[in-house]
Structure 1
Amino acid sequence: MAYAGQATAGSRSDRLERLSPLDAANMRVESRGGPMHVAAIGVVDGTALFDPAGRLRLAEVRVDLNRRLHRAPRLRQVLVRPRRGLGPPAWADDARFDVARHVRARPVPAPGDEAALLAVCEELNQPLLDRSRPLWELWLLPGLADGNVGVLFRLHHAVADGIAAMAMMGALFGAVPGAAPPTPPWRTAPAPSAWQLFTDSWRRRADAAAAAGFRLRHPALVVHSFGARARQLRLALGEGLAPRVSWNQPAGTRRRLLLVRADLGSAKSVAHAHGGTVNDLVLAAVAGGARRLLVSRRELRPRMVLKASVAAAARAPADLAPTGNRAAVMVMPLPAGEPDPARRLAQIAQATSARKRHPPYQPGGRFAQRAMVWAMPRQRLVNLLISNLPGPPEPLYLAGARVLELFQVGVVQGNLTVAVGVLSYAGQLNFAILGDADALPDLNTFADGAAEALTQLGARATTGRILGT
């Protein structure tokens, strides 16, 4: 899918926007102790972000971002939780919205290298987002040794999936240098009244009853829909159980984050030369990282094939809505037991080609989503999580300052203590490897193995570096 570009404000309908069942499931996971926000980490050219005295232009950045928020109205909204009988939570404008509560700064301690930056990001990304406010934060992180500024953007999964989150970032981060033009004052819509919530809830129930009646009059459609979902579930479950590995244990509360960088142009050339895609190359790199970790832990077995839950695009080509989730997953094999990187990539390319003939699995219905929430800490279907997003091909700008690098950070949940987020950005192919700090104190072994696999295939990859070199 192409980069979605900038989000647009769209029309503000009088119809209430409710929390979807899938987003409610995300909230339920979080209520059980598993954070469900995603994040992006970037490095921004510091030249335009400091005044002549060397002070961060925080107030000016806030003004610039505030002028752009009309392009992503959800970032000014909170969840209103009605009393029982008035339906699920609804999105409403935050009458007390203050951009200063969402855009803040925190200095990176000496020596200001990548390790110091990531340590600050790990700390800031740990707490849950405050549900009494719009569910996002942006942190400016000055103090890097090269004079640049780190950025941490946090967004709740109930607000947007990966594609929609990139659209929101396109709204806040301009595609050209220069400050955002002045915009008309934002007019806050009043929160829905109890009567509005009541009538909206009954309207939705009437719509659901009408839809049920339609299905009863057209049983063939019901059979077709049920059959499609059954096939999706059968394909997901038909992969069999994932092999037991030591890192599949209930996730704790502490995280560790490492970065791997590759050149997008060389990655495309390598992937195509082996008859695959960049997605296949990403999976091969992750398989290489997992292999290195298994070897170091003496868990690798001959012909061992791990299983990864890979986020898949479930949006229609015309669906570029800057909010909401269209979540789907595919279970992909990772032949960690294959020692040769080229054969590993070829096996993955063959497997992905076969799986693309079938739609990805989309959890539908409250029962299925509740079952997934219950099963996550004890599931045996997959070993790790992977998300690969197409980012903007041209640089973004934050308040006129060029974004030099950008990484997407996923979510560790249940007993899946490794999540690999991959983002293409302005000629870069960037990996953010997130691990549970207790289950994976040796996460660097995984990152080194992924970088080595990319390099062996010719994609020119590096792990952590001193910023500015």
Structure 2
Amino acid sequence: MTAAPTATAATRGTTRPSRVHAEFMQIWEEGYVSNHISFENMHTPGLFVVAGDALRDSDGALDRERIRRYVDATMASHPAFRVRLQRSFLGLTPPAWVPDDRFDLDRHLVFWDEVLDFETADLRKLSGVDDVVMPLRHPLWRVRITELTNGAVTVGITMHHASMDGLSGMRLFSSTSQPSADAETGSPVDPFAGVRPARGWQLPILAIAQWWRGAGSPRAAWSAYRAKPFLRRVRRVAARLTLPLRYGRGGERAREQALPPRHSAYRKMDAGAAGRRARDLGATLSDLQVAAIIGAWDGEDRVVRLRFPVSFHSTAERGVRNHVRDMEVFGDADADFTKTIESVHRQVEERDDSKPYPPVPGRPIGYSTLLPWVSRPRYFCGAEILDMAPFPASLGRDDLAAAGIMYRGQLFIGANMPIDQDVEATTGRIYELMTGLPDTGRPSPA
């Protein structure tokens, strides 16, 4: 929900902006910032490998200043990358995204001084997700630039799931990357020039005004208010009021238990060939990926279940950042692969989105998501994006979670597993089940 900029009394004798801005979070997004564990866990990484030549100066050195100007003119000039979290006075409303009036690009752009070998580099280190936890008082994103020994450059982008889901995140990156190497990016701008952040005490006023405008009439407003149980509203306000006492509960010990070390791997395959394999087996590409994750599972429990996102994004609500609902599907890791695909496809097709999804059997192991991106090349600061390694916003204790992104005719699959599990072998097995071909190992973009 977005509160339109609202006129307020300007401070006499100053040039302080007279308009305020607040974009209220959805109720389910609050959970991602409800405690220190959830907040850190929802740092979501992605890794792009780009051609390095276009990012170098005449001496062959990485042109850091040019990259900085590009990030400033694209990401840092986009409204979604310039807002921070603001909590409401007395917890009367959900938190809101408001402009960061102390924005500093240096908080969000990091250059790695060491040149790394992509064949052996830690993918999560390259993505920057294991850097320091992002501060809540500033926009929740970070870019890490790393040179590779093969001449390519990695662009690690960590964003927070509270500010976007997978689909809205890919749309956002499309709007801040280039369609061609020489596309103009313009000059850096402050998207909130002349606008100031709403303060905590202003959020209830803005929320009431927005609710009243949206209702259209007193009767409709009263009906909308009664649609949500009063006690539920009271519990939410109480939870927000006690948040400072609960946010860091358990400290570092609780964090270590909830967020054990993870590592990641990725594979690249022909998206068209994988799609044909899925159709030949009577399913969708997403079904194929889910079935492959189940079939690649190597744990003792053989009947397992995966969370699977159902998107409710629509053209009528383009401003909604997070609009997915998780369902669960299950399968037997020892079953014939074609049977597993049939079962997964049937479970997805027979779901009823108007009701809570029913529980399913099996041990919960993790998460699967698949996203389309673009079919043509995209560019970062004039450098073509060659490969990408997507990683899911999985829970800290998930045993196996994978994300797929389709880009330029290729399907990239990235997976997370606990550090004591063989993520390379498991991701390779996912590749084999999705392609019907032997594993080719980690891609080597040049």
How is 1:364-379 mapped onto 2 (pairs within 5 angstroms)? none
Select between 408-417 and 394-403 the one with higher mean Cα deviation: 408-417
Please state if 1:106 is matched with 2:112: yes
Counterpart pick for 1:349 among 342, 345, 354: 345
Instruction: Indicate the residue corresponding to 2:137 in structure 1.
Output: 132
**What is the letter of the counterpart of residue 332 of structure 1?**
V
Are 2:15 and 1:21 aligned? no
CA distance in structure 2 between the partners assigned to 1:307 and 1:176 by the alignment:
42
343-352 or 444-453: which moved more? Answer: 343-352
- How far apart are residue 353 of structure 1 and its match? 2.8
Higher RCO structure (Cα 8 Å, ≥6 apart): 1
> Which sits farther off after the overlay, 87-96 or 45-54?
87-96
Alignment deviations for residues 42-91 of structure 1 (CA, whole Å, 9 cap, x no partner): 10011101112222122112212222247730201112234426644322
Match of 1:213 among 200, 222, 233: 222
The one-letter amino acid paired with 1:392 is V
SS in 2 for 1:127: coil
Structure 1: give runs of 5+ residues left out of the alignment.
1-9, 223-248, 363-378
What per-residue deviation string (whole Å, max 9, x for no partner) do you get for residues 168-194 of structure 1? 111221122225342474215222246
SS of equivalent to 1:84: helix
Residue pair 1:276, 1:346 contacting (<8 A) in 2 also: yes
Displacement of 1:21: 1.7
Do the aligned partners of residues 213 and 397 (structure 1) sit closer, same or farther apart at CA in structure 2, a change above 3 Å counting? same
Q: Distance in 2 between matches of 1:216 and 1:83?
A: 20
CA deviation string 1:248-294 (max 9, x = no partner): x964342201112211010011111111111111112212211xx23
Report the residue type matching 2:272 in the other structure: G
Q: Aligned in 2, Cα 1:188/1:54: closer, same or farther, shift over 3 Å? A: farther
Aligned to 1:162: 166
The alignment status of 1:121 with 2:126, answered yes or no, reads yes
Separation in 1 of the partners of 2:199 and 2:137?
18
Partners of 1:93 and 1:188 within 8 A in 2? no
2:54 aligned with 1:48: yes
Aligned equivalents of 2:334 and 2:400: distance in 1?
19
| CA 11–267 in structure 1, closer or farther in 2 if over 3 Å, else same | farther
Q: TM-score, normalised by structure 1?
A: 0.75
User: How far apart, CA to CA, are the structure 1 residues paired with 2:294 and 2:444?
Assistant: 26
CA contact (8 A) 1:335 1:344 kept: yes
Which residue of the other structure, out of 408, 419, 423, is the alignment partner of 2:405? 423
**Given residue 387 of structure 2, which amino acid in structure 1 is its aligned partner?**
E
Deviations 1:114-172 (A, max 9, x none): 33151523664353222121110111111x23210011111111111111101111122
Q: In 2, distance between residues paired with 1:428 and 1:319?
A: 29
Name the SS of the counterpart of 1:312 in structure 2.
strand
Cα distance in 2 between the residues matched to 1:91 and 1:104? 24
8 Å Cα contact 2:25-2:97 kept in structure 1? yes
Query: Cα distance 1:194–1:155, how it changes in 2: closer, same or farther (>3 A)?
Result: closer
2:388 maps to which of 403, 406, 421: 406
| Structure-2 change in CA distance of 1:278 and 1:193 (3 Å) | closer
Which one is further off, 98-107 or 18-27?
98-107
Alignment partners' CA distance in 1, 2:260 and 2:350: 37
Task: Give per-residue Cα distances to partners, 1:212-268, cap 9 Å, x unaligned.
Answer: 732699x9x99xxxxxxxxxxxxxxxxxxxxxxxxxx96434220111221101001
**Residue 14 (structure 2) aligns with:** none
Paired AA for residue 223 in structure 2: F
Partner of 2:333: 336
Identity of counterpart residues, as a percentage? 23
Correspondence for 1:227: none
Report the equivalent of 1:442. Answer: 422
How far apart are the structure 1 equivalents of 2:46 and 2:400? 17
Out of 129, 146, 153, which is 2:157 matched to? 153
Provide the aligned length of Structure 1 versus Structure 2: 398
Residue of structure 2 aligned with 1:395, choices 377, 380, 389: 377
The structure carrying a bigger strand percent of its residues is 2
2:9 aligned residue: none
Q: Does 1:64 align with 2:87?
A: no
Residues 34, 413 of structure 1: 8 Å contact kept: no
Deviates more, 1:395-404 or 1:273-282: 273-282
The DSSP-based 3-state class of the residue aligned with 1:331 is strand
Q: Tell me, what secondary structure is at the counterpart of 1:462? A: coil
| Aligned residue identity for 1:462 | T
Match of 2:314 among 313, 316, 319: 316
Shift of 1:407: 2.7
Q: Does the CA-based 8 Å contact 1:384-1:416 persist in structure 2? A: yes
CA contact (8 A) 1:251 1:412 kept: no
For the 8 Å contact 2:89–2:203, the answer to whether it is kept is no
TM-aligned CA deviation for residue 348 of structure 1: 2.8
Moved more, 69-78 or 257-266: 69-78
> How far apart are 1:210 and its partner, in Å?
6.4
SS in 2 for 1:62: helix
Q: Distance in 2 between matches of 1:210 and 1:62?
A: 53
One-letter code of the match for 1:419?
Answer: A
Which stretches in structure 2 are left out of the alignment for 5+ residues? Answer: 7-20, 230-255
**TM-score relative to the length of structure 2:** 0.79
Is this contact kept in 1: 2:287–2:345, CA < 8 A? yes
Look up the equivalent residue of 1:137 and give its one-letter code: R
Tell me how far apart the structure 2 counterparts of residues 405 and 73 of structure 1 sit (CA, whole Å): 27
What is the SS of the residue equivalent to 1:464?
Answer: coil
* 1:96 to 2:93 alignment: no
Q: What is the match of residue 239 of structure 1?
A: none
Matched residue of 1:171: which SS?
A: helix
- For the 8 Å contact 2:403–2:413, the answer to whether it is kept is yes
Distance 1:433 1:256 in 2: 8
Equivalent position to 1:462, from 437, 440, 443? 440
